[in-house]
A and B are shown apart, each in its own frame.
Chain A
Amino acid sequence: MNARIDTVVPAGEPWMGAVRRGETFRIVDLEGNQAVDTLFYNADDTHEHYSAQNTIQAQGRIYLTTGSVLLSNRGRPMLRIEDDTCGRHDTLGGACSSESNTVRYALEKRYMHSCRDSFLLALARHDHGMTKRDLPSNINFFMNVPVTPEGGLRFADGISAAGRHVELIALMDTLVLISNCPQLNNPCNAYNPTPIRVMTATSSQGKQ
Chain B
Amino acid sequence: MPHVVTPLLWEDEIPGGTHWSGVLRRGVTLRLVAQADDANLAALFYSREQPLERYNMADTLKAQHTAHLTTGCVCYSDMGRILCSVVADTCGWHDPLCGLTDPEMISARYGVTRFQEQRNARYVSGREAMLVELGKYGLNERDLVANINFFSKVVADDDGALRRVAGHARADQYVDLRFEMDSIVLLHAGPHPLDMDARYAPAGVRLEARRAPPPAADDACRMHCPENARGFVNTERLYA
Q: Find out whether the CB atom of A137 lies under 8 angstroms from the CB atom of B146.
A: yes
Which residues of chain A come closer than 8 Å to B61, judged between CB atoms? 92-94, 153
> How far, in Å, is A137 (CB) from chain B's closest CB?
5
In whole angstroms, how far apart are the Cα atoms of A60 and B163 in the complex?
A: 8
* Segment touching B, from A16-24, A95-103, A157-165, A167-175: A95-103
- Could you say which of B52, B66, B142 has the most chain A C-beta atoms within 10 Å of its C-beta? B142
Q: Count the A residues whose beta carbon is within 8 Å of the partner chain — how many?
A: 44
Which residues of chain B come closer than 8 Å to A57, judged between CB atoms? 98-99, 193-194
In whole angstroms, how far apart are the Cα atoms of A98 and B78 in the complex?
A: 10
Closest residue of B by beta carbon distance from A140: B58
Which residues of chain B come closer than 8 Å to A9, judged between CB atoms? none
* Segment touching A, from B150-158, B168-176, B198-206: B150-158
Which of B56, B67, B194, B227 contacts A147 (CB under 8 A)? B67
Which residues of chain A come closer than 8 Å to B29, judged between CB atoms? none
> How far, in Å, is B65 (CB) from chain A's closest CB?
5
Q: Find out whether the CB atom of A60 lies under 8 angstroms from the CB atom of B194.
A: yes
> How far, in Å, is B184 (CB) from chain A's closest CB?
15
Q: Find out whether the CB atom of A53 lies under 8 angstroms from the CB atom of B147.
A: yes
In whole angstroms, how far apart are the Cα atoms of A56 and B64 in the complex?
A: 21
Q: Tell whether A202 is near chain B: CB-to-CB under 8 Å.
A: no
Range for the number of chain B residues in contact with chain A: 35 or more
Closest residue of B by beta carbon distance from A186: B62
Which residues of chain A come closer than 8 Å to B141, judged between CB atoms? 47, 73
Interface residues of B in 44-69 (CB under 8 A from A): 52, 56-59, 61-68
Which of A61, A93, A103 contacts B162 (CB under 8 A)? A61
Q: Find out whether the CB atom of B194 lies under 8 angstroms from the CB atom of A75.
A: no
Q: Tell whether B109 is near chain A: CB-to-CB under 8 Å.
A: no
Nearest 10 pairs between A and B by C-beta? A94-B58, A53-B99, A99-B80, A151-B68, A62-B160, A63-B160, A147-B156, A133-B142, A147-B67, A100-B59
Which of A51, A61, A153 contacts B67 (CB under 8 A)? A153
- Could you say which of A51, A107, A148, A151 has the most chain B C-beta atoms within 10 Å of its C-beta? A151
Closest residue of A by beta carbon distance from B65: A153
Which residues of chain B come closer than 8 Å to A97, judged between CB atoms? 59, 78, 80
Which residues of chain B come closer than 8 Å to A54, judged between CB atoms? 99
Interface residues of B (CB under 8 A from A): 52, 56-59, 61-68, 76, 78-81, 93, 97-100, 102, 104, 141-147, 155-162, 193-194, 227, 230-231, 233-234
Q: Find out whether the CB atom of B57 lies under 8 angstroms from the CB atom of A94.
A: yes
In whole angstroms, how far apart are the Cα atoms of A73 and B52 in the complex?
A: 18
Interface residues of A (CB under 8 A from B): 47, 51-54, 56-57, 60-63, 73, 75, 88, 92-95, 97-104, 106-107, 116, 132-134, 136-137, 145-149, 151-155
In whole angstroms, how far apart are the Cα atoms of A67 and B233 in the complex?
A: 43
> How far, in Å, is A141 (CB) from chain B's closest CB?
15
Which of B65, B97, B233 contacts A62 (CB under 8 A)? B97
Which of B58, B63, B100 contacts A92 (CB under 8 A)? B58
Q: Find out whether the CB atom of A53 lies under 8 angstroms from the CB atom of B80.
A: no
In whole angstroms, how far apart are the Cα atoms of A134 and B144 in the complex?
A: 10
Q: 6 other contacts beyond A103-B234, A151-B68, with CB at 8 A cut-off?
A: A52-B146, A56-B98, A63-B159, A75-B102, A104-B63, A153-B66
Which residues of chain A come closer than 8 Å to B81, judged between CB atoms? 99
Closest residue of A by beta carbon distance from B193: A57
Q: Find out whether the CB atom of A136 lies under 8 angstroms from the CB atom of B145.
A: yes
Which residues of chain A come closer than 8 Å to B93, judged between CB atoms? 151
Closest residue of B by beta carbon distance from A138: B58
> How far, in Å, is A38 (CB) from chain B's closest CB?
13
